[in-house]
């Protein structure tokens, strides 16, 4: 035990703490948004005020641990420990455990109304499916574990509007923070007859002659929709990440919907019974602008008593010229639906995917073009990197295949940006 250095108003203390206890402290302080030194200070204060030492903690294998405490606190603590005939390491471990016991993990913040995120763009291959999966994975990550996230300021500086040439996002390790997962219950809906999301997550497309979302939307169900849902099992997601697989019968969806009354509401009618089990439903749209897109946009509309920006359309684009025309067509369709049916359909933002600033002026100036739209604003910038393609090849969720990759870090930032 020593006090080798002093900071401005606190003294550095070097002691020891078992690794598991230090980890619990790290997670809990991150969950509560408290500094470790504050937690240790509070724990020591509370421990010194106890009538006697608490339950002995196994401190075998304790490792070096240093923190900063208010001047004089360590000396006072040392005296109390001596009186109680416990070692300083034991006293510190008990103090930290006491703080943990009196500062439980916060409850997961669940939305009052299940959020609906509609990931769309009729342009093919821009990354709708990748973004649907990545955002869903990020939102369902364990709230009792820490994951690397690109902090907001990094995104902001990467997207600096006045310096397009600077808009090359190589994530600086200093801009990465470890944060607890949101721990939300997420349903991914594969709304694309191509079944890409289903295949990419290692699930099987539904059989053509069985039940499907298409049947439910067409008013011809063959059972309960919830019976078709599969869990994407990985301990990061703790059983909270589910998928409603697609069926190739969705190629006929527009035809079947044409005979359905209030067909814009068909997706909502089908999915409503599932919502009680989920905090967020994310719909991976097909690359088309047909009736199914209307139904998806309608599903994402702002409901009565729902705050703005909770649900809506998340538009995935690329930093290239052809994306701009596609964007205009899509937003025109959403505008028409808004006006024709007098709906509030919010934009959750634009995600610029498959970005590679090394492609030069076309990429950087297109990115600038997306930033200049401002409303909706760019909420995510995901680089073109190998991990996404590898995860698809391995049929694994990106965030469990490469949890520390730049893409995973950016997906977590995106998920938080639209929360």
Chain positions contacting ligand ATP, by CB under 6 A: 124-130, 192, 194, 196, 287, 353-354, 382, 384-385, 388-389, 392, 407
Position among 22, 185, 196, 302 found at the interface with Mg ion (CB under 5 A): 196
**Beta carbon of residue 47, minimum distance to ligand ATP (angstroms, whole number):** 49
Give CA–CA dist 403/149, Å, rounded.
10
- Identify which of residues 32 and 394 has a Cβ nearer to ligand ATP in the complex: 394
Closest to Mg ion by CB, 200 vs 364, is: 200
Region class of 64: left (phi > 0), else alpha (psi between -120 and 50), else beta: beta
Rounded-to-integer distance, Cα 386 and Cα 406, Å: 10
Q: Which does 28 bind (CB under 5 to 8 A by kind): ligand ATP, Mg ion, none?
A: none
| Residues near Mg ion (CB under 5 A), total | 3
**190 or 268, CB closer to Mg ion?**
190
256 near Mg ion, judged by CB under 5 A: no
Minimal distance in Å, beta carbon 126 to ligand ATP? 4
- Rounded to whole angstroms, the Cα distance separating 250 from 215 reads 9
The binder of 353, among ligand ATP, Mg ion, none, by C-beta within 5 to 8 A per type, is: ligand ATP
Least distance from ligand ATP to the Cβ atom of residue 191, Å:
10
Beta strand 378-383 with 347-355 is parallel
Query: Which residues contact residue 41 at a Cβ distance below 8 angstroms, ignoring those fewer than 6 apart?
Result: 69, 70, 73
Nearer to ligand ATP, 279 or 384 (CB): 384
DSSP 72: T
Q: Which is nearer to Mg ion, 129 or 140 (CB)?
A: 129
Q: How far is the CB of 327 from ligand ATP (least distance, A)?
A: 13
Does residue 129 touch Mg ion according to CB under 5 A?
Answer: yes
Task: Answer yes or no whether residue 128 interacts with Mg ion by CB under 5 A.
Answer: yes
Binder of residue 29, out of ligand ATP, Mg ion, none (CB less than 5 to 8 A by kind)? none
Stretch that binds Mg ion, among 79-87, 120-128, 139-147, 208-216 (CB under 5 A): 120-128
Residue 128: phi, psi to the nearest 5? -60, -45
Q: Which residues partner with 119 through β-bridges? A: 284, 314
Helix axes 19-32, 88-102, angle to 10 degrees: 30
Distance CA 370, CA 293 (A): 22
Using CB distances below 5 to 8 A depending on partner kind, what does residue 384 bind out of Mg ion, ligand ATP, none?
Answer: ligand ATP
Q: How far is the CB of 30 from ligand ATP (least distance, A)?
A: 27
Q: Got the DSSP string for 105-169? A: PPPP---SS-EEEEEE-SSTTSSHHHHHHHHHHHHHS-TTSEEEEE-HHHHHHHT-TT-GGG---
Residues that bind Mg ion (CB under 5 A): 128-129, 196
């Amino acid at each position: 035990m020593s006090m080798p250095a002093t900071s401005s108003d606190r003294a550095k203390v070097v002691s020891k703490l078992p690794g598991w206890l230090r980890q619990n402290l790290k997670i809990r302080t991150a969950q509560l948004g408290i500094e470790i030194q504050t937690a240790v200070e509070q724990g020591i204060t509370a421990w010194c005020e106890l009538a006697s030492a608490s339950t002995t903690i196994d401190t075998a294998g304790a490792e070096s641990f240093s923190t900063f405490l208010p001047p004089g606190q360590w000396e006072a603590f040392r005296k109390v420990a001596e009186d109680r005939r416990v070692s300083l390491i034991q006293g510190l471990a008990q103090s930290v455990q006491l703080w943990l016991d009196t500062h439980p993990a916060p409850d997961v913040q669940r939305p009052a109304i299940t959020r609906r995120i509609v990931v769309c763009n009729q342009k093919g291959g821009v990354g709708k499916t990748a973004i649907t999966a990545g955002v869903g994975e990020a939102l369902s990550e364990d709230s009792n574990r820490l994951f690397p996230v690109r902090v907001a300021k990094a995104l902001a500086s990467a997207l600096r509007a006045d310096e397009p040439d600077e808009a090359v996002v190589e994530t600086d390790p200093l801009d990465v923070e470890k944060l607890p997962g949101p721990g939300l219950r997420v349903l991914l809906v594969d709304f694309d007859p191509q079944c890409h999301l289903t295949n990419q997550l290692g699930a099987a497309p539904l059989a053509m002659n069985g039940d499907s979302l298409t049947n439910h939307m067409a008013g011809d169900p063959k059972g309960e929709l919830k019976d078709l849902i599969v869990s994407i099992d990985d301990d990061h997601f703790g059983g909270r990440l589910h998928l409603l697989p697609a069926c190739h019968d969705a190629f006929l969806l527009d035809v079947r919907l044409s005979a359905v009354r209030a067909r814009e509401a068909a997706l909502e009618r089908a999915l409503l019974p599932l919502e009680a089990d989920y905090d967020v439903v994310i719909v991976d749209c097909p690359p088309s602008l047909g009736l199914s897109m209307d139904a998806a946009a309608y599903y994402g509309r702002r409901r009565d008593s729902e705050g703005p920006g909770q649900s809506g359309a998340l538009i995935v684009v690329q930093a290239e010229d052809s994306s701009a025309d596609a964007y205009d067509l899509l937003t025109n369709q959403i505008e028409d639906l808004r006006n024709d049916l007098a709906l509030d359909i919010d934009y959750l933002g634009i995600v610029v995917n498959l970005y590679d600033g090394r492609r030069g002026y076309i990429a950087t100036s297109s990115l600038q073009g997306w930033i200049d739209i401002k409303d909706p604003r760019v909420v995510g910038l995901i680089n073109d990197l190998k991990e996404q393609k590898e995860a698809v090849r391995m049929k694994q969720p990106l965030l469990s295949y490469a949890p520390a990759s730049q893409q995973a870090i950016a997906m977590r930032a995106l998920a938080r940006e639209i929360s």
